[in-house]
Amino acid sequence: MKPAIAIERLSKCYHLGAGPSNYLTFRETLSRAGRALWPRRRSALVAGVSSVGNQDPLWALRDLSFDIEHGEVLGVIGRNGAGKSTLLKVLSRITEPTAGRVTVRGRLGSLLEVGTGFHPELTGRENIYMNGSLLGMSGREIARKFDEIVAFSEIAKFLDTPVKRYSSGMYVRLAFAVAAHLEPEILVVDEVLAVGDAAFQQKCLGKISEVGRAGRTVLFVSHNMAAVRHLCTSAILLDQGRIDTVGDSDIVIAKYLQALTTAGSSGTSCLSHNEQFGVTFKGIELLDGAGNAVPAMQTGQPIHFRIALETSIPYGDVMATIGVHSLVDDVRICMFNSWVSGNELRLTPPGTIIHCTVPNVPLPPGNYRLTMTIKTGNTVIFYFPAVLEVAVVEGDYYGTGRLAGTSWCGLCLVHHAWGYASLQSERA
């Protein structure tokens, strides 16, 4: 049986700095086609270097070849800019490839931009029909599934209200409910679990899992490794537009996390630079309670994070977050957030040192990955998914001289106390 999707030497090239292209006349089109027939021009095109002046080519995808079988649930993972979304857009025929060939056997439905096509002046009811039509559903199909869509979205009482009055959560619920009730043979999903509250994300996860169990082919892009592991039997790791690893999802996820932690293992080197916002991350150091640099954290002991940033733009009212993720399944265990703790931060040129102190580390022994996010208002001016891989060594968290073992203490430790009273004294 032929695969559901066959990808052969697929490449997609963009040109940095390319301005909006003017429409060509028929004469200009023929002229360019004629010049491309010369051997030198033809070889240049095959090599991917087109006649776009001196603009730098950016290969979002480069020479991808693999098959996706019918009924396979494939996770697509990789860092930001690895080519994941570009791959799905090519498969969904949103953009044309520069080279290569894609063969899709079956009806394909896409969940790429949840809510695309909603009209703010129309009611929820009207948008269900309009958005469903844009996604390829027939009027009869939408009518048949209308009650299911409304029940899934949980916004029945607001169905005849214009969506411009919806909260962001209500908007996302309705948009996903419409898109999730497509019945294609192939479903392409891109980061839909990054929106909504935790309960709704779990509901979305269950819906996608249901599609996979029904024997349909699913391509699932996500940075949530726990979701990829739960949903996908196999995965593909992309790196700078190329295939790094293909195979069992556990093996591919482990390779991805290893690459992240290797990239973030140096606590003092320059790891990332955001030109748009003028912020450069210089490094993070761990200091103990006495201010000495340490290679690891200890359960129950204080730890001090020292984050060095360079900036060319002053920022006030900055929110910084350090996330702590387990290396086994990439679950975020806890986070340290300056806004929640009530601390105001600012970034001033040419550089700023941000400090974060945790009085007693609540983590059991093990290896963890730290993420770093800096926001001003709702704008993320810096994000790095692996600033440091750090070990936590055993310590006396409760101050009792008894150590909490790694096999039964859970994801984090919590201070608590026990007592007792006899039944007789309680009655008295």
Q: What domain count does the chain have? A: 3
- What per-residue confidence (pLDDT) applies to 237? 93
399 in a structural domain: no
Domain ranges, residue 289: 272-393
Indicate if 216 and 301 belong to the same structural domain. no
Q: How confident is the model at residue 268 (pLDDT cuts 50, 70, 90)?
A: very low
206 and 291 both lie in a single domain: no
Q: Do the domain assignments include residue 410?
A: no
What is the helix (H) or strand (E) element at residue 205, kind and residue range?
Answer: helix 198-213
Residues 291 and 344 in one domain: yes
The answer on 326 and 248 residing in a single domain is no
Task: Return the SS3 of 75.
Answer: strand
Q: Kindly report, residue by residue over 130-160, the tens digit of the pLDDT.
A: 988 887 788 899 999 999 999 988 889 999 9
In a domain, 428, yes or no: no
CB count within 10 Å of CB 336 equals 17
Highest mean pLDDT among 92-96, 111-115, 142-146, 220-224 belongs to 142-146
Task: Identify the pLDDT of residue 42.
Answer: 44
CA-CA distance, 19 to 37, in Å (whole number)?
26
Q: Are 391 and 351 in contact (CB under 8 A)?
A: no
Do 164 and 179 sit in the same domain of this protein?
yes
Residues contacting 36, CB < 8 A, separation 6+: 42, 45
In this predicted model, which residue has the larger pLDDT, 290 or 276?
A: 290
Are 174 and 311 contained in the same domain? no
226 and 90 share one domain: yes
CATH code of 336's domain: 2.70.50.60
Q: Which of 280, 269, 275, 277 is nearest to 309 (CA)?
A: 280
Last residue of a domain, one of 197, 226, 258: 258
Whether residues 99 and 204 fall in one domain: yes
Inform me whether the pLDDT recorded for 269 exceeds 70.
Answer: no
| Interval 357-411: pLDDT, tens | 999 999 888 888 888 889 988 888 888 777 777 888 878 888 887 776 655 567 7
Residue 202 to residues 27, 74, 250, 334, Cα–Cα distance (Å) = 56, 19, 21, 19
Same domain, 36 and 164: no
Structure confidence at residue 198 (pLDDT):
58
Residue 38 has what pLDDT? 56
Q: Can you give the three-state secondary structure of 162-187, one letter per residue? A: EHHHCCHHHHHHHHHHHHHCCCCCEE
Element containing residue 250 per DSSP (H, E) = helix 249-263
Buried b (16+ CB within 10 A) or exposed e, 291-322: eeebeebbbbbebbbbbbbbbeeebeebbbbb
Q: Which helix (H) or strand (E) holds 362?
A: none
Min mean pLDDT across 26-30, 208-212, 359-363, 371-375 is at 26-30
- The mean predicted confidence, pLDDT, of the chain is 80
Q: How far apart are CA 187 and CA 204, in angstroms?
A: 14
Half-sphere exposure of 100 (CA within 13 A, CB side): 23
User: Where do the DSSP E strands lie in 69-140?
Assistant: 73-77, 99-104, 108-111
Q: What angle do CA 258, 264, 266 make, to 5 degrees?
A: 120
Whole-number pLDDT of residue 45: 46
Bigger pLDDT: 272 vs 383: 383
pLDDT at 267 over 50: no
* Whether residue 40 sits in one domain with residue 177: no
Mean pLDDT of 25-49: 56
**Which pLDDT band, with edges at 50, 70 and 90, does 52 fall under?**
very low
Q: Are residues 93 and 213 in the same domain?
A: yes
Same domain, yes or no, for 388 and 350?
yes
Least confident window among 52-56, 139-143, 231-235: 52-56
What CATH number did the domain enclosing 202 receive? 3.40.50.300
Q: For residue 257, what pLDDT is reported?
A: 67
Q: What whole-number distance in Å separates Cα of residue 225 and Cα of residue 76?
A: 10
pLDDT for the residue numbered 10 = 93
Provide the pLDDT confidence category of residue 323 given band limits of 50, 70 and 90. Answer: very high
Half-sphere exposure in the Cβ direction for 23 (13 Å, CA): 2
**Does residue 176 lie in a domain region?**
yes
Domain assignment present for residue 412? The answer is no
Question: In this structure, what token pair is assigned to residue 251?
Answer: 């093996």
List, in sequence order, every residue forming a beta bridge with 61; answer none if it has no partner: 12
pLDDT above 80: residue 245 = yes
**263 is a domain residue:** no
List Cβ neighbours of 289 (8 Å cut-off, separation of 6 or more). 301, 302, 304
Identify the domain boundary among 211, 228, 258: 258
| More confidently predicted of 110 and 69 | 69
pTM of the model: 0.59
Check whether 43 has a pLDDT greater than 50: no
Q: Tell me: the pLDDT tens digits for 305-317?
A: 999 888 888 998 8
